[in-house]
Amino acid sequence: MTSKLWGGRFTGSTDPLMEAFNASIPFDRRLWRADIQGSQAYARALARAGLITEDEARQIVAGLDQVASEWAEGRFQLQPTDEDIHTANERRLTELIGPVAGKLHTGRSRNDQVATDVRLWLREEIDRLQEHLRALIAVTVERAAAEIDWLMPGYTHLQPAQPVRWSHWLLSHAWAWQRDASRLADLAVRVNLLPLGSGALAGNPFSIDRRQLAEDLGFAGITPNSLDGVSDRDFIVEFLSWAALTMVHLSRLAEDLIIYSSREFGFVTLADAYSTGSSLMPQKKNPDALELLRGKTGRVVGALNSLLVVLKGLPSTYNKDLQEDKEPLFDTVDTLQACLQIACGVLSTLEAHPERMAAALVPEMLATDLAEYLVRRGVPFRETHHIAGAAVQLAEQRGVPLSALTVEDLKGLHPAFQEDVAQVWDYEASVERRDVEGGTSRRAVQAQIQQLRQWLQG
């Protein structure tokens, strides 16, 4: 008799290359815990429906506990016939408890079984990822609170723009990660639905109580349509989409810090734990951790694209193409688990150099403040913008800093300039003038810190 779960209809042997081509056990073995958890709940559901006895259910549950112990302790022995995790676990269960194991699959298909396993597995991984995200945000918030006095250039187009607080820059990344955490919590709701009981596609014929089964497995509800239940991979696409955007946010942090850690900037120095040297040039300290964060973003974006391509032309309902959902999902989860922790490590250990940040502040970054000085004296902004531009041009022609222009020089551009214009050339004052919600003043930054602290406590 064939050992394949699907083998009754076949008489010929399978091409060995096809055996390997078809098998998913090399990668879906990580679902062993979820597969056993779902099977134990299903055995109890079969007993409630009167399809097996309470004693048979106890035998199945106890046997699966033993199978789980073997996996957990690294003693589980895979066999050549174990094409997937479901086959492997049922085969081993049969060896342990005999023919009663064959009743476990009653009314169940690998189609609804695997959809359930993946949702169970991903639900736990999402919880872990949330913990890593919150740790990253917490490190960033506390660093922002401790280093709120430091000023640095803010950039647009990678050109010096206006002075900002270093803490404001840190929090700009923290807010992006907070949105990532919010999106992850949102998609977790759609992951947490039970497809088990959908059968192969048409539903379960034995009056299984799906809602009780969902409650037993901790699901918030059930998938409402059996055809959709076995074929839906939206929850994986949504997760991969979340992961791609989160990695883009990590990549942008990495790019900033790569630039800021260069000799030309010198705003930060990475800890040795997250850097490497050159095989040729002994003076080099390379930001490899950050470069890998940036590089692995392409890997995660590619995973999303690969699954979308798999799904875009599938007919209803289950097709073997869907086996291709797992490797990009597993790889993406592993990548995000590592990258979030690495980013947290980098931010918690890097050394910042406020003196280098302050040295990079130049009076030309206060040209907008010069324009705003005139606005406060009733001059229309479009006019003041032009006047401030003319002041910048005059300073460039003379080869002096913008702040070196005299009051007489500025009055030559507009009579509204007075002696107190000298107050414009104060970087701290410039930062403090941006005293609106979301701005870079001390009060506004402290408010952001408080908001994020409250969110972290929620």
- Of residues 142 and 6, the one with the higher pLDDT is 142
CATH of the domain at 99: 1.10.275.10
Whether residues 331 and 267 share a domain: the answer is yes
Residues 47 and 30 in one domain: yes
CATH of the domain at 414: 1.10.40.30
| Same structural domain, 148 and 175 | yes
* pLDDT grade for 458, boundaries at 50, 70 and 90: confident
Query: Is the pLDDT assigned to residue 438 strictly greater than 70?
Result: yes
Please give the Cα distance from 143 to 347 (Å, whole number): 9
pLDDT over 50 at 6, yes or no: no
326-381 per-position pLDDT tens digit:
999 999 999 999 999 999 999 999 999 999 999 999 999 999 999 999 999 999 99
Helix (H, G, I), strand (E, B) or coil at 165: strand
> What is the domain extent for residue 50?
14-103
Q: Which residues are part of the catalytic machinery? A: 157, 278
Which residue did the predictor score with more confidence, 12 or 105?
105
Cα–Cα distance for residue pair 249/415, rounded to 1 Å: 47
d(CA 139, CA 173): 12
Residue bearing the bigger pLDDT, 13 or 211: 211
How many other CB atoms are there within 10 angstroms of residue 310's CB atom? 18
* Residue 325 pLDDT level (bands cut at 50, 70, 90): very high
263 and 230 assigned to the same domain: yes
- Contact, 4 vs 83, CB < 8 A? yes
Cα 37 from Cα 453, distance rounded (Å)? 36
Same domain, 385 and 442: yes
Number of Cβ atoms within 10 Å of the Cβ of 185: 12
Tell me how far apart the terminal alpha carbons of the chain are, to the nearest angstrom: 57
**Banded pLDDT at 263 (limits 50, 70, 90):** very high
What is the predicted pLDDT for the residue at 7? 52
278 pLDDT band, cuts 50/70/90, is low
Q: What is the mean pLDDT of residues 91-102?
A: 98
> How high is the pLDDT of residue 2?
46
**Cβ-contact 409, 394 below 8 angstroms:** yes
Residue whose token pair is 């010096």: 160
pLDDT at position 1: 38
